[in-house]
């Protein structure tokens, strides 16, 4: 059975705690994600997808609940430990690319490795390899404002892969791209999943893109209202044998 990378139990997120305008945005999320899965998270605007992504990505701590990321209890980490685990375990891809404007493509991809303490030569070599992986090796000296949207996102994906993270976490990565470019970016995620065995969590508004993944988790008003399935989920024995009988 594949390794469990994410285990969330009863995750609650509130804002303005104790104030009259207190808001509860996540209402007790239970979510397991195993190594090698490609999962889409969908839901209406304001349903809590990005809030959940911030939790999964250890950008923020839950108000209540338990979260283990690759066997580390995230709820107990201080800010410095959070940033260390983030840099090691998570590769982020955002709708707005979030590249450093003054740095060229190569430098942008090197940055997470610099933070991780990797030596310059090794860093540059790996950054070039990653740019090749997303077919951006010819543009490595270009700065973000010299690249198209799709090219920027490919650089951002190469950067997300820099420290060989356990999980690629992408929030609306095709949201700022036209549909053709969006599909090209989606094809890169498929390649990372199929060929590199990457675990990918993709937040998207697009039912079409979600349908290309293996599993769709739907959020509504801060709760998971449907989950097409974690194939690694332990089932009670009785259920297993029932499934076997009915499958015959
Ligand atoms: N820092 C914050 N303080 C207070 N409320 C917040 C904060 N961040 C998010 N919210 C609220 O939480 C709710 C969920 O926001 P979130 O960004 O998670 O939605 P989303 O599902 O990602 O939406 P979209 O599809 O538009 O990106 C919204 O009602 C938002 O106003
Ligand atoms: Mg969002």
- CATH number, residue 196: 3.40.50.300
What is the per-residue pLDDT for 89? Answer: 95
Sheet of strand 38-42: strand arrangement:
90-94, 167-171, 199-203, 38-42, 215-220, 223-227
239 pLDDT exceeds 80? Answer: no
What is the per-residue pLDDT for 247? Answer: 43
Q: Which atom, in ligand 1's list, is nearest to the CA of 51?
A: 18
The predicted model gives 79-106 an average pLDDT of 95
pLDDT in tens, 186-227: 999 999 999 999 999 999 988 899 999 999 999 999 999 999
Phi, psi of 144 (to 5 degrees): -50, -40
**pLDDT confidence band for 241 (50 / 70 / 90):** very low
Question: Buried b / exposed e across 103-133, counting CB within 10 Å, b at 16+?
Answer: ebbbbbbbbbbeeeebeeeebbebbbebbeb
Domain that holds residue 12: 4-246
Compute the distance from residue 54 Cα to the ligand 2 centre, in Å: 10
**pLDDT confidence band for 63 (50 / 70 / 90):** very high
238 pLDDT exceeds 50? Answer: no
Compute the distance from residue 245 Cα to the ligand 1 centre, in Å: 45
Which DSSP letter does residue 47 get?
Answer: S
Give the Cα separation of 116 and 93 in Å (integer). 18
Contact 193/38 with Cβ under 8 angstroms?
A: yes
How much of the chain exceeds pLDDT 90, in percent?
Answer: 86
Residue 222: CB within 6 Å of ligand 1? no
Going by C-alpha positions, the residue among 174, 39, 168 that lies closest to residue 95 is 174
For the chain, report the end-to-end CA distance as a whole number of angstroms: 23
Residue 207: CB within 6 Å of ligand 1? no
Compute the distance from residue 71 Cα to the ligand 2 centre, in Å: 26
Contact 46/65 with Cβ under 8 angstroms?
A: no
Q: Angle formed by the axes of helices 105-115 and 120-133, to 10°?
A: 130
Could you tell me how many helices (H) and strands (E) the chain has, helices first? 8, 10
Residue 218: CB within 6 Å of ligand 1? no
Give the Cα separation of 20 and 3 in Å (integer). 42
Q: Please name the residue that has the structure tokens 């998270």.
A: 41
Q: Which atom, in ligand 1's list, is nearest to the CA of 205?
A: 25
Compute the distance from residue 200 Cα to the ligand 2 centre, in Å: 17
What is the per-residue pLDDT for 151? Answer: 97
- Report how many domains make up the chain: 1
Q: What tokens appear for 245 in the block?
A: 């009988």
What is the per-residue pLDDT for 232? Answer: 66
The predicted model gives 16-45 an average pLDDT of 95
Q: Please, what is the average pLDDT of the chain?
A: 92
Which residue minimizes the CA distance to atom 12 of ligand 1?
25
Rg from Cα positions in the chain: 19
pLDDT in tens, 157-169: 999 999 999 999 9
* Ligand of minimum distance to the alpha carbon of 44: 1
Which residues, 6+ apart, have CB-to-CB distance to 248 below 8 Å? none
Q: Which atom, in ligand 1's list, is nearest to the CA of 48?
A: 18
Residue 22: CB within 6 Å of ligand 1? no
**pLDDT confidence band for 245 (50 / 70 / 90):** very low
What is the per-residue pLDDT for 230? Answer: 72
What is the per-residue pLDDT for 229? Answer: 83
How much of the chain exceeds pLDDT 70, in percent?
Answer: 93
- Candidates 47, 52, 176, 219: which one to mutate for ligand 1, based on the most atoms within 8 Å of Cβ? 47
Of residues 235 and 238, more confidently modeled: 235
Give the Cα separation of 248 and 232 in Å (integer). 21
Compute the distance from residue 18 Cα to the ligand 1 centre, in Å: 19
Residue 96: CB within 6 Å of ligand 1? no
What is the per-residue pLDDT for 234? Answer: 60
């Amino acid at each position: 059975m594949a390794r469990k990378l994410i285990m969330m139990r009863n995750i609650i997120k509130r804002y303005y705690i104790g104030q009259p305008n207190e808001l509860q945005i996540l209402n007790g999320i239970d979510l397991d994600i195993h190594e090698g899965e490609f999962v889409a998270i969908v839901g209406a605007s304001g349903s809590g997808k990005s809030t959940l992504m911030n939790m999964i990505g250890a950008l923020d701590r839950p108000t209540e609940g338990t979260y283990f990321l690759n066997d580390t209890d995230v709820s107990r980490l201080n800010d410095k430990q959070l940033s260390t685990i983030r840099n090691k375990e998570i590769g982020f891809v955002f709708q707005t690319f979030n590249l450093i404007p003054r740095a060229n493509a190569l430098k942008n991809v090197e940055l997470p490795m610099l933070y991780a303490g990797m030596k310059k030569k090794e860093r540059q070599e790996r950054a070039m390899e990653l740019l090749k992986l997303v077919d951006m090796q010819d543009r490595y000296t270009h700065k973000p404002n010299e690249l198209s949207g799709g090219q920027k996102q490919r650089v951002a994906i190469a950067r997300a892969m820099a420290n060989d993270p356990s999980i690629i976490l992408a929030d609306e990565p095709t949201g700022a791209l036209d549909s053709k470019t969006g599909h090209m970016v989606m094809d890169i995620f498929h390649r990372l999943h199929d060929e590199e065995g990457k675990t990918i969590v993709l937040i998207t508004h697009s039912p079409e893109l979600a349908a290309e993944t293996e599993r769709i988790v739907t959020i509504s008003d801060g709760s998971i209202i449907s989950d097409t399935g974690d194939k690694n989920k332990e089932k009670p024995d009785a259920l297993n044998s029932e499934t076997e009988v009915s499958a015959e």
